[in-house]
């Protein structure tokens, strides 16, 4: 089988059985966009307005709905409408981190009912495999996908070394539901013991900490360019937030639109360069 790095998103979509992974790869190919926008604002009006502006340029919208101060479930209904209108997938960045029974309840129930609308969510592997089984009991029947946090983009984070290796081993044991990682590089072969192999392995790598105009934010976040992330590190989706809508919650729609198109273009150019270099 050809290396993941030399395959198109469409070719990879054909090999994935998980509906969420397949849908994301197909969306990326269809829209020629490997850009995800992280919309972290506290008012539902700003949240929906930004998503409506960036929607045409993204494959994925990443949310933190628990920071929306005036949240009600109509936000989710409108988000779903925008997802259909602009053809993007939804990723609630919940970072579950509890025992299986608790995360199953957090995922399915409560105020946000995340599993009912978010195609993809994520979890810390700290609690061990039970966190995957708990989330899978809810998400698998709905065709959802899970990302594990194998690495992070903040300075001094602890998701390194043996922690990352164990996260990848947990994912390999649950490939029907775990579709990839939040990470800074490809995880191919990571965590394999001597004599082990993982033929045909293709975990999606979604990477935060992407910026064109700055290298950090003063709160520990570290930024790399789309080329560094996609071409040099082999990652699949670039996650950008404030680099697109700024510190004023996207008050200037034209500026937001221009930034979204710039990041989409740079991410796709880096992907095309990777395919050509690997062929």
Nearest residue to 261 via CA among 94, 15, 47, 33: 33
Structure tokens at 61: 């919208």
| 95 assigned to active site | yes
Nearest residue to 150 via CA among 163, 135, 131, 134: 163
Q: How far apart are CA 12 and CA 14, in angstroms?
A: 5
Structure tokens at 160: 């390194």
Within 10 Å of residue 14's Cβ, how many Cβ atoms? 11
22, 31, 78, 95: the catalytic one is 95
Q: How far apart are CA 58 and CA 239, in angstroms?
A: 10
Q: How far apart are CA 187 and CA 205, in angstroms?
A: 8
Site of tokens 């978010």: 118
Q: How far apart are CA 22 and CA 24, in angstroms?
A: 6
Q: How far apart are CA 124 and CA 94, in angstroms?
A: 10
Query: Annotated catalytic sites, by residue?
Result: 95
């Amino acid at each position: 089988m050809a290396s993941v790095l030399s395959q198109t998103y469409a070719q990879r979509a054909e090999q994935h059985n998980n509906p969420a992974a397949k849908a994301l790869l197909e969306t990326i190919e269809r829209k020629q966009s490997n850009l995800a926008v992280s919309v972290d604002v506290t008012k539902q009006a700003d949240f929906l307005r930004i998503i409506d502006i960036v929607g045409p340029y993204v494959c994925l919208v990443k949310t933190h709905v628990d920071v929306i101060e005036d949240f009600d479930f109509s936000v989710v209904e409108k988000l779903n409408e925008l997802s259909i209108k602009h053809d993007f997938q939804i990723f609630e960045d919940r970072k579950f981190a509890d025992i299986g029974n608790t995360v199953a309840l957090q995922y399915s129930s409560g105020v946000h009912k995340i599993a009912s609308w978010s195609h993809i969510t994520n979890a810390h592997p700290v609690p061990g495999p039970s966190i995957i089984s708990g989330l899978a009991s809810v998400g698998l029947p709905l065709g959802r996908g899970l990302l594990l946090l194998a690495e992070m983009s903040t300075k001094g984070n602890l998701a390194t070394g043996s922690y990352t290796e164990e996260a990848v081993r947990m994912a390999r044991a649950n490939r029907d539901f775990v579709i990839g990682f939040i990470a800074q590089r490809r995880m191919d072969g990571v965590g394999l013991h001597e004599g082990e192999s993982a033929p045909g392995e293709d975990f999606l790598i979604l990477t935060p900490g992407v910026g064109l105009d700055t290298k950090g934010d003063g709160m520990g976040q570290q930024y790399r360019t789309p080329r560094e992330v996609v071409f040099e590190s082999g990652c699949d989706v670039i996650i950008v937030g404030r680099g697109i809508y700024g510190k004023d919650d996207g008050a200037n729609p034209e500026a937001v639109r221009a930034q979204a198109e710039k990041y989409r273009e740079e991410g796709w150019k880096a992907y095309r360069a990777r395919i050509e270099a690997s062929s």
